[in-house]
Amino acid sequence: MSDADKLSMFNWVYTEKVKEHFTDPKNILENPEYSEDGKGMVGSMACGDQMLVLIKVGDDDRITDIKWRTYGCASAIASTSVMSEMVKGMKLEEAYLLTPQQITKELGGLPEHKFHCSVLGDKALRAAIDDYLERQGRENPFQHRIAKVVCECKGVTDQQIEQLVKEDRASTLEQLQEETGLGTVCGKCKESAEHLLHDFLHIYGK
């Protein structure tokens, strides 16, 4: 987050862009009869965030419409809202590869402990695309290209870890943390990240 974004948060809790999408969220699902082509739901009420994303897909594999519902805080609502605006008109492939960082960037930044809100947004979208392709009986051609988020707080993916291993920049969890900040906020991912790190070290004979 830039200094300007941080400063703008003194005026409100989050950036002006988050405020805009929180006070006037776009593309909320209002019609109970809405007939979607694909549907995805992620998160849980118990965790404090839950997102439902419905998409309509045109003949040329473009997302023609998107509707959503979110149970969650201001940044969760704003993340889903801004994501819905970003992907409307997008090709499925591009939408599937949308990253939490892109969503966060569009919002002008989110505080560190709120990053997982944007992670949920893109997860829900991907779940909806998966569902669409399944309903169509089509293979998912994008799945293998998608980076899996390992650390939700800092948005570190398996592909990033793989890259760092390949480049000899990380061979221990501590180095990985120094490079990416992984596991330095809530720490929940440290164990799985270490496993992954060892797998990659093994694969690349490091």
CB closer to other proteins out of 10 and 46: 46
117 part of the active site: yes
The distance from CA 2 to its chain's CA centroid, rounded to whole angstroms, is 20
Please, are residues 159 and 147 in contact by the beta-carbon 8 Å criterion? yes
In whole angstroms, give the CA distance from residue 144 to residue 146: 6
Residues at the site binding other proteins, with contacts judged by CB under 8 A: 13, 22-23, 25, 28, 30, 41, 45-52, 69-77, 113-114, 116, 186
151 part of the active site: no
Residue with tokens 């839950």: 50
> Least distance to other proteins from the beta carbon of 74, Å?
5
CB closer to other proteins out of 50 and 180: 50
In whole angstroms, give the CA distance from residue 145 to residue 122: 15
Identified catalytic residue from 73, 117, 151, 153: 117
> Least distance to other proteins from the beta carbon of 51, Å?
7
- Burial class from Cβ neighbours inside 10 Å (0-12, 13-18, 19+) for residue 160 reads buried
In whole angstroms, give the CA distance from residue 102 to residue 71: 21
Please state, as a whole number, how many other Cβ atoms lie within 10 Å of the Cβ of residue 42: 19
Helix (H, G, I), strand (E, B) or coil at 120: helix
CB closer to other proteins out of 113 and 145: 113
CB closer to other proteins out of 52 and 125: 52
What residues are annotated to the active site?
A: 47, 117
